[in-house]
Amino acid sequence: MLLALSAQAAEIGELVVNNHVQIDWQDQPVSTDLVLTPARPISGIGAVGAPSQVEVLDGTPAAASRVRVWALVSVAPRAQIRLKIRDDVVAGAPAGTFANLPIEEVGGIPLVEATNGRLRVRLPLASAAPGTTASGTWVPPTPRSAFLVPGPALPVTATWSGPDWIDSRQRISAIEWQAESGPVYLRWKLTYRTDAGKSWVAEARLTAKSDFVVLSEACGFGDDSRWIIDLGGLGANRFHFATDAKFNRWSEITPSSSSADEGQGGENDFISVPGSKCLTRMTIWSQFNYIRGKQEALGVWAAPPEPPTAPATAASATAASATTAEVIAASPSAPAADTTAPSPVIGGFIVRPDRWTRAKLNHVALWKRPQVGGDRVSRGVVGLPGAAPRLAYEATLIDGHREWALYAKPSTGPSKDPWYVTQHIRYGIWPLDRLNRLVLAWNADGSPVAPEHAKPTAEAGPFIKHVASVLLDTKGRCGLQHFNGSNPSMRGGYAKSAAAVAAWAAANPTQRSAADLQASGKLTAMMAEPALAAALAMDDSAYPGERATLPWSDPEALNPFYQGMENMNFNVDRYESVLKAGEALEALGCPTAPEIFADVRREFECQLVRYVYPRSGLWEESHNYAGSALSASDKVGTAIGPRVGVDYNRDPRVLNLHRVWTTILSPKDPAFGGRRIVPPIGDHGLGVGEHVPRLTAAAKRFQATGDPAALVVAGELAWSMADRGYTVPDGVAPIAPKLPSRWIEGYGTTLRSGVGTADESYVIVRAGMSWGHHHQDKGSLWVWLNGIHFLGDAAWGGPPGEHYWNPYKQGPAGHSTLELVGVNNWPLPCKYPTPWIADDWFGAGADWTLARCRYPYNPEPDASAGTPPALVNGFDRHVLFIHPDLIVVRDAVESPCATIWHVNSLQGPRTTVTGAQATLASPQGLTGDLAILHPAGAVLDLIPTHERDMDDRPGTAPHLPFGSATTPMWTVPKDNPGPPAPEIDTRTVNLEWKMPLGSSATWFLGARKADHPAVRGEVLDGVGRVVRLSHPDGRVVTAFLGERDFTWTGDGITFAGRTGAVVRSAAGVTVHRIRCERLDAK
């Protein structure tokens, strides 16, 4: 509420608090903003009937032009309170006191203790008498070492008081301070200035009857500066180790700082610090806890030997009404803390993550580092005499804005509903003041809403469970995970709730004002709750949204991998649902509906820019997850476009997003009833009819635009339907796409011949940067020769055992590639180098591509076998495709690691092995011959079942076959099922060869009729760069595959360069000069 006021009136405003949620708020600070015209002193301004305090927003206390009036209120669920604001209010008792301490910190800086009777906080310098403000500046005679300077707010107990200090190479040249004491809160602000011109501004607020102090910081010290809160004297033996699924978990702190794990905790960071261990790191939006130890709350506990049973929590199950009995009504008010208890918990939690900046660096973490007693400078130095592991919270001061809370509380042990869980959401991220400022009641004609018409009503609406899940849940991220797209409630239930509201609005067109809905008892159910649900889902506290799509190099990008960047489809699902809420609110005449649509468009645009490869249209995630992007282009693009004046059905990004699904289709495979399929590269295995309904709908939309480019894509999609046996959309004429050999950005290279014929061949060389839900498959091959599949992934991407950490599911063993033992092959741009296509060449009769795969250097060399010299760690895979049925591969390895060559035969039990040769027999009468030509003496192992060690993980099922002989199709579109297809034989076998350390390899795969002699090969130069293949149809191929330029003469051929091929047949001699200066053949 923002009012312009005259200087004469005694009653100058009103604070209206509407509580639409099922929380019994007690002693909560709530505010309203006022404009004072003309400017006036703030003395006398306050709320009648509640403790109140005035914060100056513009002007000074003596001449304020804009103020925020705070009041401390209690309000029952579904209730309203109204407080008059006057300019003649007598100030009440202060929220607490500042008291100068009779001691000084090491640096000679006077210390102050602030307390509200529940929490004691130690700070330097800042102090104000009750009901007053004060300020000052402390300047040392010479710049003071930062190690001697305390931080801005240290919660203390009767038995523990830190110390705390600033760990920085800079020196403190001044501390400016302000302090304010009033009936609602104590506030102090400290500005630390350094001799290098840097600053750290920290504002703290301790509210009356609160158990925590809230810090708002602008960090700018740079370097490696940190604020250290020394926990060494606490005697802590447990630390709070939260996970998404189990927020309240305590792990034992072990004596050694070098242990691999601390109980169940241990922060799994990308950087190891010798001698030190990060146990937990408080960061914003720690989705799923995939990066172990990153969480949104911290705590260390000096637990007694046998913690007694926890007392009952403040939460109690009550029925809000006959229709909301399942909703928990929880009182946020905690009992006053006894800070003299012998087992204190010292910790903190995030406040307003949506306002944090520089999140990649802006952390608060629990570290165990070596330190010599109380010697502050020695912290983290390895090898000092007398050093021992010592706990401390470390808050980075490098850069960025941060808001968080600190507390000191007694504890009698972990409880089912811990106190800090409810604080984290209800008083940190979504406090009553923030909720009260949302637009939750309106009149569709835009007229102001009278306070009596905004009063909450008792009836619950379709969104009640979604709101309650966020604000009342005590599991995981306290309900914020509800708005992650992985939550089925968000994917389905939220959208259904929005549809129910929209349907109600359409059926009740006269119920579009707050007064009407208030009178009918549906204001909360059909107006406030939908608006609140939209606000909760749009907030960055629930999902980081735009910041999650920023490039890695952007300073505001969030922490990588499962910190917002993955899963990309989660955000797609989220804003699809937010769109539905916006449509429902639009139907009710909500004034904020355009803001919702603008937010959805912004998120949609971010996804198109960040996750759709511009030159291919490929979605960043694997084939199955890409369905979310196709769905968004339909639901979101179609709905948002007309509202913002954009036709997304003409947008090249959207067109390419659909077109790529024709680009990557396999040949017509007789094993799939003659259908083309999407190769199941990445998570979730085979889907024969994958995306057919979405692509069918898209073809109709594109056709309706009349746009020439859109018409072509519509026709190509229709061709993909017809060519797979599905019904073509009415009015869309199929257009056969051009399917040449090509580089596909993000995917790799696709090599083709005989497109549209029964002998169509297709080779995929997987070497692209796409990483979301992709596997450790750098350089992996998928091969169809003459229409028959031969190589791919284990069990067509669906092997037995666990999904994660399964070496045959996501690991290199499940793909046709090379495994560098000890190397993590995940294609994560935030952590590991990605593979790329370094070069390619496409010609008539032959194609060639070079996949370059690189890894972190020298991670785990096999010292027992000797370590070969290697300047890089990785391999180059040269793939030469001689149309239509021969591939020659040169794997040039340069690595200190043991290397295992893997190929997964899609012909399963029909695969046999003899020495370095394998025979892959198909039921269709075509046989593949595979042989390792160089080095000599290779021996292939055939692994027909799932036998590899799985670390004894629970649920692991060893010795299971890869796939089955009769696997049902994974995806069969209900509205366009196509012709009947046989059950699929997904059995595969894994061929392994443990390569000699530091060696490279040359091998081939050729196809021939089952009753013909095998394809044969031989090495001509002794090192595998020149090989000759003899096909039973009479062709003789001489292939040149070198890592560097070389020369060779023989067999009537003269060669100088790196890559080329000569094909001799009855029709004559064909020369393919690929990457060479000279290639002549007689």
Tell me how far apart the alpha carbons of residues 606 and 604 are, in angstroms, rounded to a whole number: 5
Is 474 within a domain?
yes
Upper half-sphere CA count for residue 694 (Cβ side, 13 Å): 22
Q: Is 220 left (phi over 0), alpha (psi -120 to 50) or beta?
A: alpha
Q: What is the extent of the structural domain holding 70?
A: 2-86
Distance CA 765, CA 891 (A): 13
**Beta pairing partners, 1050:** 1053
> Would you tell me how many other CB atoms lie within 10 Å of the CB of residue 233?
15
pLDDT at 573 (0 to 100): 81
Residues 142 and 55 reside in one and the same domain: no
Bridge partners of 850, per DSSP, are 839, 878
866: how many CB neighbours lie within 10 A of its CB? 10
Q: Residue 1006 in contact with residue 1031, Cβ under 8 Å?
A: yes
Q: What is the arithmetic mean of pLDDT over 985-993?
A: 93
Q: What is the mean pLDDT of the chain?
A: 86
User: Is residue 318 pLDDT above 70, yes or no?
Assistant: no
CA separation for the pair 1040, 1025 (Å, rounded) = 6
CATH code assigned at 6: 2.60.40
Residue after which a domain boundary falls, among 57, 86, 115:
86
Domain boundary among 1020, 1047, 1063: 1020
- Nearest to 990, CA basis, from 1077, 904, 873, 911: 904
Q: Is residue 251 part of a domain?
A: yes
Residues 272 and 201 in one domain: no
339-373: pLDDT as tens digits: 444 578 899 988 998 899 988 788 899 999 999 99
Please name the residue ranges forming H helices in 167-255.
Answer: none
**pLDDT grade for 953, boundaries at 50, 70 and 90:** very low
For residue 294, being part of any structural domain is answered with: yes
Given a cut of 70, whether residue 335 has pLDDT beyond it is: no
Based on the fold, state whether residues 247 and 209 are members of the same structural domain: no
Question: What's the average model confidence in pLDDT over 640-661?
Answer: 95
pLDDT at 697 over 80: yes
Integer Rg of the chain from CA = 34
Does this model's pTM top 0.95? My answer is no
Q: What is the DSSP letter of 493?
A: I
Q: Which of 811-815, 933-937, 974-978 has the highest mean pLDDT?
A: 933-937
| Bridge partners (DSSP) listed for residue 888 | 880, 1004
Lowest mean pLDDT among 148-157, 229-238, 1003-1012: 229-238
Domain assignment present for 868: yes
Indicate whether 422 and 443 sit together in one domain. Answer: no
Q: What is the mean pLDDT of residues 755-774?
A: 91
Summarize pLDDT for 293-307 with one digit per residue, the tens. Answer: 667 888 898 887 654
The total domain count for the chain is: 5
Asked if residue 206 and residue 61 are part of one domain, the reply reads no
Q: How far apart, in whole angstroms, are the C-alpha atoms of residue 733 and residue 743?
A: 28
The proportion of the chain whose per-residue pLDDT surpasses 90, expressed as a percent, equals: 62
Q: How many residues are present in the chain?
A: 1082
pLDDT score at 337: 39
Res 322: pLDDT: 24
SS (H, E, C) 244-301: CCCCCCEEECCCCCCCCCECCECCCCCCCCCCCEEEEEECCCCHHHCCCCEECEEEEE
Would you list the DSSP string of 534-556? Answer: HHHHHSTTT--GGGGGS-TTSTT
- Confidence category of residue 602, pLDDT binned at 50, 70, 90: very high
CB under 8 A, 24+ apart: contacts of 936-942: 936/1019, 938/993, 938/995, 938/1001, 939/915, 939/993, 940/913, 940/915, 940/916, 940/991, 940/992, 940/993, 941/913, 941/991, 941/992, 941/993, 942/911, 942/912, 942/913, 942/918, 942/989, 942/990, 942/991
Residue 226's Cβ-count burial label (10 Å; 0-12, 13-18, 19+) is: buried
419 has a pLDDT exceeding 70: no
- Which stretch, 258-262, 270-274, 322-326, has highest mean pLDDT? 270-274
Of 602, 454, 471, which Cα lies nearest the Cα of 517?
A: 454
Residue type, position 88, single letter: D
In a domain, 771, yes or no: yes
CB 65 within 8 A of CB 39: yes
Q: Does 240 lie in the same domain as 211? A: no
Query: What residue type is 568 in one-letter code?
Result: M
258 plus 139 within the same structural domain: no
Residues 261 and 137 in one domain: no
Distance CA 908, CA 685 (A): 16
Residue 981's pLDDT is: 66
| Distance from C-alpha of 84 to C-alpha of 46, rounded to nearest angstrom | 8
The winner for highest mean pLDDT among 595-604, 704-713, 989-998 is: 704-713
Cis status, amide bond into 567, omega within 30 of 0: yes
CA 535 to chain centre: 21
pLDDT at 530 over 60: yes
What count of other Cβ atoms lies within 10 Å of the Cβ of residue 941? 11
d(CA 305, CA 51): 43
Cα torsion 643, 587, 633, 696: sign: negative
Q: What is the pLDDT of residues 826-874, one digit of tens each?
A: 666 555 667 899 999 999 999 999 999 988 765 555 556 556 666 788 9
Percent of the chain's residues with pLDDT above 70: 84
Final residue in a domain of this structure, among 178, 196, 224: 224
One domain, residues 806 and 942: yes
Q: What is the pLDDT of residue 852?
A: 95
Cβ 810 vs Cβ 865: under 8 Å: no
pLDDT of residue 479: 55
Contact between residue 962 and residue 991 where contact means Cβ atoms under 8 Å apart: no
pLDDT score recorded for residue 445: 93
- Tell whether 942 and 795 lie within a shared domain: yes
Could you report the per-residue pLDDT of 1030-1050, keeping only the tens digit for each? Answer: 999 999 999 999 999 999 999
Q: By mean pLDDT, which of 172-181, 332-341, 359-368, 1069-1078 is the weakest?
A: 332-341
Which among 901, 971, 387 has a CA at the least distance from the CA of 672? 971
Q: Are residues 785 and 847 in the same domain?
A: yes
Work out the average pLDDT over 676-697.
88
Half-sphere exposure of 1013 (CA within 13 A, CB side): 10
> What are the tokens at 491?
């994917």
Strands 297-301 and 846-854: unpaired
Can you give the pLDDT at residue 819? 92
- DSSP category for residue 793: S
The residue with greater pLDDT, 442 or 689, is 442
Could you count the other beta carbons within 10 Å of the beta carbon of residue 761?
A: 24
- On whether residue 482 sits in a domain, the answer given is yes
CB neighbour list of residue 983: distance below 8 Å, 6 or more residues apart: 966, 967, 968, 969
Predicted pLDDT at 319: 25
Query: Is 1075 domain-assigned?
Result: no
Residue 497 has which token pair?
């709730």
Distance linking the first and last C-alpha atoms of the chain = 90
- In the predicted model, what is the mean pLDDT of residues 113-141? 96
Residue 276 lies in a domain: yes
Cβ atoms of 947 and 959 closer than 8 Å: yes
Q: Which of 45-49, 281-285, 430-434, 690-694 has the lowest mean pLDDT?
A: 281-285
Q: Do the Cβ atoms of 293 and 363 come closer than 8 Å?
A: no
Question: What sign for the dihedral angle of Cα 102, 108, 114, 119?
Answer: negative
pLDDT at 997 over 50: yes
3-state secondary structure of 595: helix
**Domain check: are 298 and 315 in the same one?**
yes
- pLDDT higher than 80, residue 524: yes
Choose the weakest-confidence range: 363-367, 810-814, 934-938.
810-814
Dump pLDDT digits (tens) for 422-475: 677 788 889 999 999 999 999 999 999 999 999 999 999 999 988 888 887 655
